[in-house]
Amino acid sequence: MKNKSFLLRLVSLVVIVAALLAYNGVTASRLEAEEEAAQAVASALSNADTSTVDSGSEGDSTPTEPAGLYKDGTYEGEAQGYGGPVRVSVVVSGGNITSVAVLSHSGEDEAYYSMAEKIIPNVISSQSTAVDTASGATFSSNGILNAVDKALEGAVN
């Protein structure tokens, strides 16, 4: 069988690709279903809540609550990425981090940087730089996170 090595490889590759695609399809629909279930639970809970603790939710909306850790303003910070400094600008408003913009990242490889920048929404949603780094793009991720930390040093209340 002189063609065995080729055919064996071809079949294995097709099987692996098919398995990954099938896996992805199943996982995507499973995660979607889980999310829907979680949303249904959350909305049921909040419906139950509104009737009983009305006064409490009013208290939440007052602007004087100690929501923010930081002073409002725009801050810049810089830290070492993979191949050079990464500069970011962080906007704090209402005491919260509302945006993180990367001003320069000239030393980062493009593919790595585009993976690393995906962690920025996590920083904003968790209001913290203690988020997971993008897998495979640790250096660039840490560059962004450390630069945000540096920027926020000047914003601490």
Partner 1 sequence: MARELKKVTPATPPAPVPNRTFSDYLNFEEQLPKKKQKQVRTWVRTAIQVLFFLFLPSAYSSAFNGVKYLFTQVGAGAVIEWTPFVAILVVLLVYTILFGRFFCGYACAFGSLGDWLFALQKYIAKKTGKKPKQLSRTTAKSLAGVKYVVLTAIVVLCFTGLYGKLTGWNPWDAFSMLHARNFRLGKHVVALVLLLLLMVGMAFEERFFCKFLCPMGAVFSLMPTLPFFSLFRTRKDCLNKCSACTKVCPADIELPNSGTLSVRGECFQCGRCAGGCPKTNIHCGVSGKTEKGKRRLKGNELWFVVLRAALLLGLFLWLGV
Q: Which of 18, 22, 27, 33 binds partner 1 (CB under 8 A)?
A: 27
Neighbours of 48 (CB within 10 A): 10
Which residue lies nearer to partner 1 by CB, 95 or 143?
A: 143
Cα–Cα nearest to 99, from 77, 121, 114: 121
Considering the complex, what minimum distance in angstroms separates the CB of residue 117 from partner 1?
A: 11
Tokens of 38: 């979680």
Hey, which residues between 62 and 121 contact partner 1 (CB under 8 A)?
80, 82-84, 107, 109-112, 114-115
What is the rounded CA–CA span in Å between residue 155 and residue 77? 11
Pairing of β 96-104 and β 73-80:
unpaired
Residues that bind partner 1 in the complex, under the rule CB under 8 A: 2-3, 5-7, 9-10, 12-13, 20, 23-24, 27-28, 31, 80, 82-84, 107, 109-112, 114-115, 135-139
